Chain A
Amino acid sequence: MTKPVELPQGTLEMLILKAISLGPLHGYGILLRIQQISGERLEILQGSFYTAIYRLERRGWIKGEWGESENNRRARFYSHTAAGTRQLKAATAKWTDMAAVVASILDKKADEV
Chain B
Amino acid sequence: MSRLAAICKLWQSIAPRIHSDVEEEFRSTLEAYQGDLIRQGLPEEEARRRARIDLGQPAAQNENYRDAIGLRFFDELGGDIRYGIRALRRNPGFAAIAVLSLALGIGATTAMFSLIYAVLLHPFPYAGADRIVNPVMIDHQHPDEWSWFVLNQAQFDDLRLAAPVDSALGFNPSHMEITGGGLPEDISGVYLTENAGTFFGVRPLLGRNIEPSDAENGGHAIVVLNYRFWQRHFGGDPHIIGQTLEINRAPYTIVGVMPRSFAFNDTTDVGDVYLPGSLMRNLANVPYLAYIPWLKLRPHATLAAANAALEPIVRQFAKEHPERFSDRWHLALQPIIVPFQQGTGHTLTLLLAGVVLLLIIGCANCSILLLARGRTRQHELAIRSAIGASRWRIVRQLLVEAIVISWTGAVLGVAASYWLAKLPLLLSPDSFPAESVIRINAPILAFSVALALLCGVLFGLVPALRLSRHDSARMLPGRGVAAAPARHRWSVLIAAQVALTLLLMATAGNAIHGFLGLMQMPLGYDPANVMKLGIMLHVHDSGEWSRIQSREARTAYIEQIREKVASVPGVSTVAVAADATPPYPGAEISFTIDGNRDGEQPQARVMLVGQRYFAALRIPLLQGRVWNTDENTRGDFIAVVNHAFATRYLLSSNAVSNALGRRLRIPALTGQARYAAASAQSTAWRRIVGVVGDARNAGVDRPVVPAIYVPYTTVMPPYVQFFVRTQGDPLASLHSIRAAIASVASDQQISSGSFNGTFTLNEAIQRDEQYRRQRLFSILFGVFSAMGLALALIGIFSVVAYSVAQRTTEFGVRLALGAPRAHVLWVAARLTLVSATAGMVLGLALDSFLGAILAHWMQGAFAAGSLFAAAALLALSALLACLLPARHAISVPPGEALRYQ
Of the residues A47, A52, A58, A76, contact of B28 by C-beta under 8 Å: A76
Is there an interface contact between B28 and A73, defined as CB atoms closer than 8 Å?
Answer: yes
Is there an interface contact between A60 and B31, defined as CB atoms closer than 8 Å?
Answer: no
Instruction: Give the interface segment out of B54-62, B180-188, B547-555, B716-724.
Output: B54-62
Chain B interface size, under 10 / 10 to 19 / 20 to 34 / 35 or more: 20 to 34
A45-76: contact bitstring with B at CB < 8 Å (1 yes, 0 no)? Answer: 01101111011001010001000010101111
Contacts of A52 in B (CB 8 A): 68
Is there an interface contact between B69 and A46, defined as CB atoms closer than 8 Å?
Answer: no
Is there an interface contact between A50 and B32, defined as CB atoms closer than 8 Å?
Answer: no
Is there an interface contact between A75 and B32, defined as CB atoms closer than 8 Å?
Answer: yes
Count of residues in A whose CB is under 8 Å from the partner chain: 21
Contacts of A54 in B (CB 8 A): 64-65, 68-69
Contacts of A71 in B (CB 8 A): 32, 35
Contacts of B130 in A (CB 8 A): none
A27 at the interface (CB under 8 A from B): yes
Contacts of A27 in B (CB 8 A): 25-26, 29
Is there an interface contact between A69 and B68, defined as CB atoms closer than 8 Å?
Answer: no
Is there an interface contact between B55 and A46, defined as CB atoms closer than 8 Å?
Answer: yes
Is there an interface contact between B56 and A51, defined as CB atoms closer than 8 Å?
Answer: no
Q: For chain A residues 19-43, which have a beta carbon within 8 Å of chain B? A: 26-28, 31
Is there an interface contact between B28 and A74, defined as CB atoms closer than 8 Å?
Answer: yes
Of the residues B24, B32, B56, B67, contact of A46 by C-beta under 8 Å: B56
Can you name 14 A-B pairs with beta carbons within 8 Å?
Answer: A28-B28, A28-B32, A46-B54, A47-B55, A50-B65, A51-B64, A54-B64, A54-B65, A54-B69, A58-B68, A60-B13, A71-B35, A73-B31, A76-B28
Is there an interface contact between B28 and A69, defined as CB atoms closer than 8 Å?
Answer: yes
Least CB separation from A59: chain B residue: B69
Of the residues A31, A49, A60, A75, contact of B25 by C-beta under 8 Å: A75
Contacts of B857 in A (CB 8 A): none
Bound: A26/B24 CA distance, A: 13
B13-57: contact bitstring with A at CB < 8 Å (1 yes, 0 no)? Answer: 100000000001110110111010000000000000000001110
Is there an interface contact between B29 and A55, defined as CB atoms closer than 8 Å?
Answer: no
B728-745: contact bitstring with A at CB < 8 Å (1 yes, 0 no)? Answer: 000000000000000000
- B264 shortest CB reach to chain A, Å: 64
Contacts of B32 in A (CB 8 A): 26, 28, 69, 71, 73, 75
9 A-B pairs closest in CB distance: A54-B68, A58-B69, A28-B32, A51-B68, A76-B25, A28-B29, A46-B54, A27-B29, A46-B55
- B235 shortest CB reach to chain A, Å: 67
Given contacts A64-B25, A74-B24, 4 further A-B contacts (CB under 8 A): A55-B69, A58-B69, A75-B29, A76-B25
Bound: A55/B24 CA distance, A: 18
- A52 shortest CB reach to chain B, Å: 8
Bound: A27/B30 CA distance, A: 10
The residues of A with any CB-CB pair to B shorter than 8 Å are: 26-28, 31, 46-47, 49-52, 54-55, 58, 60, 64, 69, 71, 73-76
Contacts of A76 in B (CB 8 A): 25, 28
Bound: A26/B672 CA distance, A: 108
Is there an interface contact between A51 and B25, defined as CB atoms closer than 8 Å?
Answer: no
Is there an interface contact between B26 and A50, defined as CB atoms closer than 8 Å?
Answer: yes
Of the residues B24, B35, B61, contact of A50 by C-beta under 8 Å: B61
- B676 shortest CB reach to chain A, Å: 92
Contacts of A74 in B (CB 8 A): 24, 28
Is there an interface contact between B28 and A75, defined as CB atoms closer than 8 Å?
Answer: yes
Most chain A C-beta atoms within 10 Å of own C-beta, residue among B24, B26, B28, B64? B28
- A8 shortest CB reach to chain B, Å: 19
Least CB separation from B24: chain A residue: A74
Is there an interface contact between A47 and B68, defined as CB atoms closer than 8 Å?
Answer: no
B754-782: contact bitstring with A at CB < 8 Å (1 yes, 0 no)? Answer: 00000000000000000000000000000
- B19 shortest CB reach to chain A, Å: 13
Bound: A47/B525 CA distance, A: 97
- B65 shortest CB reach to chain A, Å: 5
Bound: A49/B24 CA distance, A: 16
Contacts of B67 in A (CB 8 A): 51
Least CB separation from B13: chain A residue: A60
Bound: A46/B31 CA distance, A: 14
Contacts of A55 in B (CB 8 A): 68-69
Is there an interface contact between A28 and B69, defined as CB atoms closer than 8 Å?
Answer: no
Is there an interface contact between A47 and B56, defined as CB atoms closer than 8 Å?
Answer: yes
Contacts of B29 in A (CB 8 A): 26-28, 31, 50, 75
Least CB separation from B60: chain A residue: A47
Q: For chain B residues 61-108, which have a beta carbon within 8 Å of chain A? A: 61, 64-65, 67-70
Bound: A43/B29 CA distance, A: 18
Contacts of A26 in B (CB 8 A): 28-29, 32
Bound: A76/B61 CA distance, A: 15
Bound: A6/B61 CA distance, A: 23
Contacts of B13 in A (CB 8 A): 60
Contacts of B33 in A (CB 8 A): 28
Most chain B C-beta atoms within 10 Å of own C-beta, residue among A31, A46, A52? A46
Bound: A82/B61 CA distance, A: 28
Contacts of A49 in B (CB 8 A): 55
Q: For chain B residues 537-586, which have a beta carbon within 8 Å of chain A? A: none
- B71 shortest CB reach to chain A, Å: 10
- A10 shortest CB reach to chain B, Å: 14
Most chain A C-beta atoms within 10 Å of own C-beta, residue among B25, B55, B56? B25
Contacts of B24 in A (CB 8 A): 74
Least CB separation from A70: chain B residue: B32
Bound: A105/B70 CA distance, A: 38
- A32 shortest CB reach to chain B, Å: 8
Contacts of B25 in A (CB 8 A): 27, 64, 75-76
Contacts of A69 in B (CB 8 A): 28, 32
Most chain A C-beta atoms within 10 Å of own C-beta, residue among B29, B54, B56, B65? B29
Bound: A49/B56 CA distance, A: 11
Bound: A98/B449 CA distance, A: 55
- A73 shortest CB reach to chain B, Å: 6
Q: For chain B residues 341-379, which have a beta carbon within 8 Å of chain A? A: none
B582-598: contact bitstring with A at CB < 8 Å (1 yes, 0 no)? Answer: 00000000000000000
Bound: A48/B55 CA distance, A: 9
Contacts of B61 in A (CB 8 A): 50
Given A58-B69, A74-B24: A50 and B31 interface contact (C-beta under 8 Å): no
